[in-house]
Amino acid sequence: MIKSASIEYWRPSNDINSITPDDMLEITLFFRSQIEPLFYHDSWEARNEYFETLYQYLGIFWLYEFPNAAAYYGYMHQYENYTEFFPISMLKNYQSGISICSEDFLLFNDYVIWVTKKILDR
C-alpha cells in the first residue's frame, strides 16, 4: 500500500497488464472522483503532469496522443475492426481481460497511427 497526502491506494501486485478493462475503468474513475479534486486550484499543466507521473508510476503509459477528435474516432473505428476480426471472443477468460501477442498489437497500432496521419495530412 502506498500513502501520499492522506491518500491510500493499492498497486497491482504483479503486472498492470493483468488487470481487466473493468478494473482499468475503476482506476480511472477513482482518479477523477477522488484525486483530481485535490488539485482543483492547481493549473491544468500541473494536474496533467501529476497524473502522467502517477500513471507512469503504476506502469500505465500513453502509446500515442491524438491531435484531434477526428483522428481519435478514426483510430477507434480501426480498432473496432481489429477486435471484430481478431477472434478475441474465443480466447480463454474473455471476461477477465484479454492477452494477445503484444508484437501483433503494436504492429497494428503503428499501422493505424500511420494511416490516420496520412488521412489527416490530406
Distance CA 4, CA 15 (A): 21
Q: Could you tell me the residue range of the domain that residue 8 belongs to? A: 2-57
- Residue-wise pLDDT tens digits, 78-119: 888 877 776 655 555 555 556 666 777 788 888 888 887 787
Distance CA 11, CA 1 (A): 7
Distance CA 98, CA 91 (A): 7
In a shared domain, residues 7 and 51: yes
- Last-in-domain residue among 57, 79, 94: 57
In a shared domain, residues 49 and 25: yes
When the pLDDT of each residue in the chain is averaged and rounded to a whole number, the result is 74
Question: What is the sign, positive or negative, of the torsion defined by CA atoms of 105, 52, 67, 40?
Answer: positive
In a shared domain, residues 11 and 47: yes
Q: What is the 3-state secondary structure (H, E, C) of 8-27?
A: EECCCCCCHHHCCHHHHHHH
In a shared domain, residues 86 and 49: no
Note if the pTM is more than 0.85: no
Average pLDDT of the segment spanning 26-40: 86
- Residue-wise pLDDT tens digits, 44-70: 898 888 888 888 887 777 766 777 887
